[in-house]
Amino acid sequence: MGTGGSPADASFGEIARQWGRIGCIGFGGPPAHIALLRELCVERRRWLTETEFERALAAVNLLPGPASTQLAIYCAWRLRGTGGALVGGLCFILPGLIMILALSALFLSGSPPDWLRGAGMGAGAAVAAVAVRAGLSVAAPIRRRVQGGRRARVLAYGLAGGIAAAFTGAWLVLVLLACGAIELARTRLAGRMAGVGLLSLAAWPGLGQRVGGRLADALGRWPLLAASAHEGGAGALVWTAFKVGALAFGGGFVIVPLMQADAVSTYHWMTHGQFLNAVALGQVTPGPVTQTVAAVGYAAGGFPGALLAALVAFAPSFSLVLLGATRLQRLLVNEGVLAFLGGATPAAAGAIIGSAAPLAAALAETWQYAVLAAAAVALLALRRGVVQTLLLAGCAGVAAALLGAPIPH
């Protein structure tokens, strides 16, 4: 336990060092990030109380996008305001982003050696099992919270998300939004939230005056952006990255079917095998899984495309925290938000599990299915770590390549 201190003691340099450290060692996804932030801000430096940290965590879990990234941004905001949020957020994100860019250049280059291609195929083979594990981890607390007759409704939302991710990845966003809207409408009709609407600006006093005009202007441009996306190029990449960053309800892995539909089926930036490699890279590097979009951007447009995709994907996280940081706690009592997420989050959990179907279908060789089966046992039965399992799967791929197993070029 450290000596502790007040938020005023945290300089920009200290924020850069500490958040950068977490960005470098934060292997293991959101649970690891949250534990490291808690250890730093609550236990060691005492910049936040336990109650403040728990409330912040609950609030960011109600927002779309990568919750651990938003928590890192919010904690830094509590220390040094907007400047602290920008410094802390960037230092948290950049180490993993740099690493995934370097690995993307290595794995997605035109002619990597067979052993390296085998490593990618082996790690990629395990990704479907990772998706199931991630979806179950999101679904478990939902199942514990839901009581009585609502369970059937939540199960229906989960099935809808799973089916959409498995068979209609391009339409998954609409299914998530529809499930949230249905639950919101049902709650309103039940008379439990008179006059409360989704993300009601009345619940966030002054926010409408600050961002209403900007939001209306942005919404007016969305159809143009979506239209330009059909033409491919930068517009398509921006549209894909925006969906990844703004619509990840229930955990970062829900972005996988969204990216797969665009990157592989619609715009043909990547093959199925390359996409599996990209998802595996997002899992074995520190930082949020949202950084996988940088690998997609690299395939679409090299390093400029990777940086553009990362910028667009993380912009919603910074915007949501910076524009509403002082009002995040009100999300915890906003019935409109809670009702919407009551439908969208179970659908997202189902979508994460459902994404395993196209990921498994993308495997090209018989030996990859053996790696997938072993990974499923390790992750679901033996409860081994995700990073450890993916590294072992990659080693199995190297061994397969050296033993003469088929390695498509």
Residue 396 lies in a domain: no
**pLDDT of 149:** 73
Cα 61 → chain centroid: 12
299-319: average pLDDT: 94
For residue 382, what are the contacts with CB-CB under 8 A and spacing of at least 6?
none
pLDDT higher at 174 or 212 = 174
Residue pair 65/22 in contact (Cβ under 8 Å)? The answer is no
d(CA 175, CA 160): 7
| Whether residue 226 has pLDDT greater than 70 | no
**What is the mean predicted confidence (pLDDT) over 178-206?**
64
Q: pTM of the entire structure?
A: 0.73
pLDDT at 312: 95
Question: Which one is predicted more confidently, 213 or 353?
Answer: 353
Q: What is the pLDDT of residue 137?
A: 82
Tell me: pLDDT of 236 over 80. Answer: yes
- Does 267 reside within a domain? yes
d(CA 106, CA 93): 20
pLDDT bin (cut points 50, 70, 90) of residue 170 is low
How does pLDDT run across 237-281, given as a tens digit for each residue?
999 999 888 876 655 677 788 788 899 989 999 988 889 888 888
Give the lowest-confidence range in 1-5, 140-144, 340-344, 358-362. 1-5
Domain match, 349 and 208 both: yes
Q: What is the mean pLDDT of the chain?
A: 82
State whether 76 and 159 are in the same domain.
Answer: no
pLDDT bracket for residue 1 (50, 70, 90): very low
- Could you tell me if 21 and 132 lie in one domain? no
Quick check: is 113 in a domain? no
* Phi, psi of 200, rounded to the nearest 5 degrees: -55, 125
Query: Are 285 and 96 a contacting pair, CB within 8 Å?
Result: yes
Do 199 and 342 belong together in one domain?
yes
Are 136 and 83 part of one and the same domain?
no
Closest Cα to residue 48, out of 77, 16, 91? 77
Q: Is 25 inside any structural domain?
A: yes
Of the residues 93, 112, 145, which one is the last residue of a structural domain?
93
Lowest-pLDDT range of 160-164, 279-283, 378-382: 279-283
The residue range of the domain holding 335 is 128-363
- Whether 49 is covered by a domain: the verdict is yes
Same domain, 147 and 243: yes
Residues 246 and 351 in one domain: yes
pLDDT per position as a tens digit, 207-224? 333 433 443 344 344 444
Residues in Cβ contact with 42 at an 8 Å cutoff, skipping those fewer than 6 apart: 48, 49, 50, 53
Percent of the chain with pLDDT over 70: 84
In a domain, 409, yes or no: no
Please report the pLDDT score of residue 227 as a whole number.
Answer: 44
Q: How confident is the model at residue 232 (pLDDT cuts 50, 70, 90)?
A: low
Domain C-terminal end among 93, 115, 144? 93
- Both 207 and 77 in one domain: the answer is no
Looking at residue 399, its pLDDT comes to 95
Same domain, yes or no: 174 and 244 = yes
Identify whether residues 166 and 58 lie together within a single domain. no
Overall domain count for the chain = 2
Instruction: Give backbone dihedrals phi and psi of 203, rounded to 5 degrees, phi first.
Output: -80, -10
Give every CB contact of residue 285 below 8 A, 6+ residues apart in sequence: 27, 96, 99, 100, 103, 291
Do 70 and 134 lie in a common domain? no
* Token reading at 325: 């940081």
Say if 406 falls within a structural domain.
Answer: no
What percent of the chain clears pLDDT 90, i.e. is strictly above it?
33
In a domain, 197, yes or no: yes
* Tens of pLDDT, residues 195-205: 444 444 334 34
Taking CB atoms within 8 Å and a gap of at least 24, the contacts of 137-140 are 137/251, 138/250, 138/251, 138/345, 138/348, 138/349, 138/352, 139/346, 139/349, 139/350, 139/353
In this prediction, residue 285 carries a pLDDT of 85
Residue 348, pLDDT above cutoff 80 = yes
Residue 10: pLDDT over 70: yes
